[in-house]
């Protein structure tokens, strides 16, 4: 088995991640705080530059254990977490390929918003790239470092990104019909999208 503990990431002076991966684990994603590698068909590891950030994400996963929108947390270390590998596209790629926002996908997003509220997320503004689509069309949300620290109660970024790919109006129509209370809250707090 690969020794994933040998993988390191550091931020250079331009805040760009430099990855040292002496293993044969495949890099499947990276952001400003860490890099993600596929361990096998069931697990992946996210390696962080900063122990504090790793601890915050670990705590977010521990607080949300068992939630249907969260990948399973398997293991943690000082600068890493091992979570469920989601073999599917992110929401942006999925919607572009499908060419439309289906009622079923809108329903998944509506369930996601209600679940985030139930879990006590302060940040409910997810990027389309952090919402992954499983083969059964259920969604899983990744990258929870700021879920309980930054207060973004409305999905402004998500709405902007849906608008950029031409899917926002259909989503808003679905929300109006499926979750009028959510529609009302969105319209009140984000009138620029209505």
Quick: pLDDT tens for 110-133. Answer: 999 999 999 999 999 999 999 999
**pLDDT value of residue 33:** 87
**CB 190 within 8 Å of CB 158:** no
Using CA atoms, how far apart are residues 104 and 32, in angstroms rounded to an integer?
32
Please state the rounded mean pLDDT for residues 72-86.
97
Both structure tokens of 46: 């996210």
**3.30.200.20, 3.30.70.1350, 3.40.50.300, 3.40.50.1110: CATH of 4-84:** 3.30.200.20
Using CA atoms, how far apart are residues 70 and 164, in angstroms rounded to an integer?
26
pLDDT at 2 over 70: no
Residue 170 has a CB neighbour count (10 Å cut-off) of 17
Q: What is the pTM of this model?
A: 0.93
Both structure tokens of 70: 């969260």
**pLDDT value of residue 79:** 95
Q: Which residues pair with 30 in a beta bridge?
A: 35
Query: Among residues 185, 163, 9, 28, which one has the least CA distance to residue 101?
Result: 163
């Amino acid at each position: 088995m690969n020794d994933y503990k040998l993988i390191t990431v550091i931020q250079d002076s331009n805040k760009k991640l430099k990855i040292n991966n002496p293993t044969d684990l495949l890099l499947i994603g990276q952001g400003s705080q860490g890099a993600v590698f596929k361990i096998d068909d069931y697990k992946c590891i996210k390696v962080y530059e900063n122990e504090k950030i790793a601890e915050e994400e670990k705590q977010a996963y521990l607080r949300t254990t068992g939630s249907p929108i969260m990948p399973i947390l398997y293991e943690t270390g000082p600068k890493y977490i091992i979570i469920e590998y989601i073999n599917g596209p992110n929401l942006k790629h999925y919607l572009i390929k499908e060419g439309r926002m289906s009622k079923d996908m809108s329903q998944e997003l509506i369930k996601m918003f209600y679940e985030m509220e139930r879990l006590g997320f302060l940040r409910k503004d997810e990027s389309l790239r952090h919402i992954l689509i499983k083969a059964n069309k259920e969604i899983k949300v990744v990258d929870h470092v700021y879920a309980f620290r930054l207060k973004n109660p409305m999905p402004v970024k998500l709405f902007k990104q849906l608008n950029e790919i031409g899917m926002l109006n259909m989503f808003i129509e679905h929300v109006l019909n499926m979750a009028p209370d959510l529609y009302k809250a969105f319209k009140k707090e984000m009138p620029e999208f209505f």
